[in-house]
Amino acid sequence: MGPEVPIIILILAVPIYFFSKWILKKLNIGNEKNRKYFAVLPTIVLSPLVYVAAIVIWIVSMTYYPSKDFDKQEWKSNIEERYQMSEDIIDSEILIGKSKQEVIELLGTEYWSNGEDNISYYLGFVPGIANIDPDVLDIYFENGRVIKISQHGT
C-alpha cells in the first residue's frame, strides 16, 4: 500500500463527511454543535469502503465482455470481436464431430495449422486487466473429426 492510498481515502473522506452531516441533519439527529462529531464515525467507516468499491467496480468493468451466440456472418466480418462468440462455440459444442473441411466452411480459411490434428483461429483481444495478447480458438481433431475446442491467450 503506497502513500497514495491514504491520500485518496482522505480525499474521499471530505465529501463523505459533509454528506454524513447532511443526512444527520435530515434525520434530525443531534444538534448543530454535536452533529459534526457524529458525522466522523460514518466518514471513518465509509471512506475505505467507497475506495474499495470503486476499485472493485473498475476491475469488473475492465474484465467484462459480452457473450454472443455464434453467427457465421459476424464471425467472418468482425474478426477483432470473435472472442464474444467463442464461449458459445465451446459450450454448444457445435464443432464436435465435424470434419476439418466442415469447420473451415463454417469458420473460414483464416486459420493457422499447429500440426495435422490442431488448427487455431484468431479471436481478437479479450478485454481484461493487462491483457496485451490476443486470444485464439484451438480446435483439436482425432481421426479427422473435432474432439475438443479450447480458448487461450497467445
Q: Which residues of the chain have pLDDT under 50?
A: none
DSSP letter assigned to residue 99: B
pLDDT score, position 52: 93
pLDDT score, position 9: 86
Q: Which grid cell is 52?
A: 474499495
Q: Where are the domains of the chain?
A: 4-63, 72-153
pLDDT score, position 1: 56
3-state DSSP helix/strand/coil percent for the chain, to nearest 5?
Answer: 55, 20, 30
CATH number for the segment(s) 72-153: 3.30.1450
Task: Give tens-digit pLDDT for 3-18.
Answer: 677 888 888 899 999 9
Task: Give tens-digit pLDDT for 104-131.
Answer: 999 999 999 988 899 999 999 988 777 7
Q: Which grid cell is 124?
A: 481478437
DSSP letter assigned to residue 45: H
